[in-house]
Amino acid sequence: MEQQNIAVGLDIGTTKIVAMIGRYNEYNKVEILGIGKSKSLGVHRGVVNNITQTIQSVQQAVQDAESVSGIKIKDVVVGIAGQHIRSLQHSDYITRTNADAVIDSNDIDALCNQVHKLVMLPGEEIIHVLPQEYKVDGQSEIKEPVGMYGGRVEANFHVVVGQVASIRNIGRCVKSAGLNLDRITLEPLASADAVLSQEEKEAGVALIDIGGGTTDLAIFKDGIIRHTAVIPFGGNVITEDIKEGCSIIEKQAELLKIKFGSAWPGENKDNEIVSIPGLRGRDPKEITLKNLSKIIHARVVEIIEQVYLEIKNYGHEEQKKKLIAGIVLTGGGSQLKHLKQLVEYITGMDTRIGYPNEHLAGDSDSETTSPLFATAVGLVMNSLEQGLYNSAEEEVKDVQEETLINEEIDTSPKETIQTPTAPKKSIFDRWAEKFKDFLDNAE
């Protein structure tokens, strides 16, 4: 069997940590080989607040993915979110010494590196520098200047900034779990790769990824990322409200939300009641579904209004910046009943639920194509596109044997993974190396 390049995405979320292993199949679709999921302990609103617990959760997810796939995980691409993330617009230019030579990728790299030298607030660091449009000798709206002639190359950039300490903590957790950190990617960008089509990005679309601790927003127009934001509310605050409002424990509140929750209170009759067992011999509690959906509705409206404010800040109401493709909802929180209708009602924009199945191989199981795993799928795709492959040589023999005792799994011999020939380094790869050095020196 032909050797394949394999990539690993690690989504460190507030409620769950997912390790996903994937590769391209012969049709250039992403085939998911293994997925591991563990409860996220030690992450609050996208930020690590307990290193030891986070390391254990990462190791658990990685072991699960290894035992399912039989592949040893060594290198991972990690997603980052959290309330410390902010973005800004910036313009910069370079003057070329030889205007008679065509513009090449080195000129573009020089321009991007110049932006990386921007002075940030104390304790902040640039995560992404994303070029939007270029200007060559005053000629504007150029999407790809490579191969053109010109003396002055100018560009507008979307710069994503995060807190050094938070980035460093994620790096520390990944390293302590025995993994190499290949690159850090902003989670809304990864989710966008997984669930949006090129047509939507061209027409103008807002991707809303509702996670446990944060709600991430990415806005695209004319195929270019225009705005990103991380809002520090997610599904967990809804659970918290149910817990407080109904005086029940968190586990019960989460189950209530998933099984009976609805974002639209009008549809429940007054006599629809669900009974919840009491603690340690106490009487069961009776909760009306109407009250439950009123609690959920109030909090969901708050989250959507915050997101809509960000969409307005981008300038959605201007004719040129109109988002024709409307809104795409993804993430675990997007599975809440009647959420799509509520978003359409509040924003007046067309809305759909985003499933990460467009780029996946046709035989992917239904679990992988759930909106829950949009970010993890996006991280794997991102990693494959950039040529950041897993470099572990051996297969997971011992884990496979252990799993065989616990459950029946396919033990047909799997291929070993070999390090691929190094592709030409892109600006992202060089940034990843710089970032690795930064982490190594930080310890």
Supply the pLDDT for residue 363: 77
The overall average pLDDT reported for the chain is 86
Asked whether the predicted pLDDT for residue 230 surpasses 70, the reply is yes
Asked whether the predicted pLDDT for residue 403 surpasses 90, the reply is no
83 versus 307: which is more confidently predicted? 307
What are the angstrom distances between the C-alpha of 209 and each of 102, 157, 159, 198, 400? 41, 23, 20, 18, 34
Is there a common fold for 1-84+164-196+358-443 and 86-163?
no
Confidence of residue 15 (pLDDT cuts 50, 70, 90): very high
Confidence of residue 22 (pLDDT cuts 50, 70, 90): very high
Asked whether the predicted pLDDT for residue 399 surpasses 60, the reply is no
Strand segments (E) across 84-238: 86-95, 124-136, 139-142, 152-163, 180-186, 205-210, 215-221, 224-231
In sequence order, what are the residues at sequence separation of 6 or more whose Cβ sits closer than 8 angstroms to the Cβ of residue 244?
none
Round to whole Å and give the CA distance between 312 and 330: 20
The answer to whether the beta carbons of residues 145 and 164 sit under 8 Å apart is: no
Mean pLDDT value of segment 49-55: 94
Supply the pLDDT for residue 441: 63
Asked whether the predicted pLDDT for residue 92 surpasses 90, the reply is yes
**Superfamily for 198-356?**
ATPase, nucleotide binding domain (3.30.420.40)
Mean pLDDT value of segment 337-341: 94
- pLDDT tens-digit series, residues 172-228: 999 999 999 998 999 999 999 999 999 999 999 999 999 999 999 999 999 999 999
Confidence of residue 431 (pLDDT cuts 50, 70, 90): low
Phi, psi of 328 (to 5 degrees): -120, 125
Supply the pLDDT for residue 5: 86
Confidence of residue 430 (pLDDT cuts 50, 70, 90): low
Domain ranges of the chain: 1-84+164-196+358-443, 86-163, 198-356
Mean pLDDT value of segment 252-274: 87
Mean pLDDT value of segment 255-277: 86
Mean pLDDT value of segment 15-34: 91
181 versus 3: which is more confidently predicted? 181
The answer to whether the beta carbons of residues 67 and 73 sit under 8 Å apart is: no
- The DSSP call for residue 78 is E
Asked whether the predicted pLDDT for residue 420 surpasses 70, the reply is no
Supply the pLDDT for residue 29: 87
Architecture of domain 86-163: 2-Layer Sandwich (3.30)
3-class SS at 192?
Answer: helix
Asked whether the predicted pLDDT for residue 416 surpasses 60, the reply is no
Mean pLDDT value of segment 47-67: 94
Supply the pLDDT for residue 415: 41
Asked whether the predicted pLDDT for residue 243 surpasses 90, the reply is yes
Round to whole Å and give the CA distance between 396 and 305: 47
Long-range contacts of 253-262 (CB under 8 A, 24+ apart): 256/287, 256/292, 257/296, 257/336, 258/335, 260/289, 260/292, 261/292, 261/293, 261/296, 261/336, 261/337, 262/289, 262/292, 262/293, 262/296, 262/336, 262/337, 262/338
The answer to whether the beta carbons of residues 223 and 236 sit under 8 Å apart is: no
Supply the pLDDT for residue 411: 36
Q: Which two tokens stand for residue 230?
A: 């991380």
The answer to whether the beta carbons of residues 320 and 133 sit under 8 Å apart is: no
For residue 105, give the H/E element and its range.
Answer: helix 105-116
For residue 11, give the H/E element and its range.
Answer: strand 7-12
Supply the pLDDT for residue 442: 59
Q: Which two tokens stand for residue 144?
A: 């790809």
- pLDDT tens-digit series, residues 287-316: 999 999 999 999 999 999 999 999 999 988
Confidence of residue 386 (pLDDT cuts 50, 70, 90): confident
Amino acid in the structure at residue 47: V
CATH assignment of 1-84+164-196+358-443, among 2.60.210.10, 3.40.50.300, 3.30.420.40, 3.30.200.20: 3.30.420.40
Strands 205-210 and 139-142: unpaired
The percent of residues in the chain predicted with pLDDT above 90, rounded, is 64
Which range (84-88, 198-202, 365-369) has the least confidence? 365-369
Beta bridge partners of 91: 156
The answer to whether the beta carbons of residues 108 and 131 sit under 8 Å apart is: yes
Phi, psi of 161 (to 5 degrees): -125, 145
Confidence of residue 317 (pLDDT cuts 50, 70, 90): confident
- pLDDT tens-digit series, residues 109-163: 999 999 999 999 999 999 999 999 999 998 988 989 999 999 999 999 999 999 9
Supply the pLDDT for residue 167: 92
Supply the pLDDT for residue 436: 62
The answer to whether the beta carbons of residues 354 and 374 sit under 8 Å apart is: yes
Nearest to 367 by CA among 41, 65, 111: 65
Nearest to 205 by CA among 328, 345, 306: 328
The answer to whether the beta carbons of residues 103 and 136 sit under 8 Å apart is: yes
The answer to whether the beta carbons of residues 148 and 103 sit under 8 Å apart is: yes
Supply the pLDDT for residue 51: 94
Asked whether the predicted pLDDT for residue 74 surpasses 60, the reply is yes
Q: What is the torsion angle, in degrees rounded to the nearest 10, for the CA atoms of residue 67, residue 409, residue 394 and residue 56?
A: 10
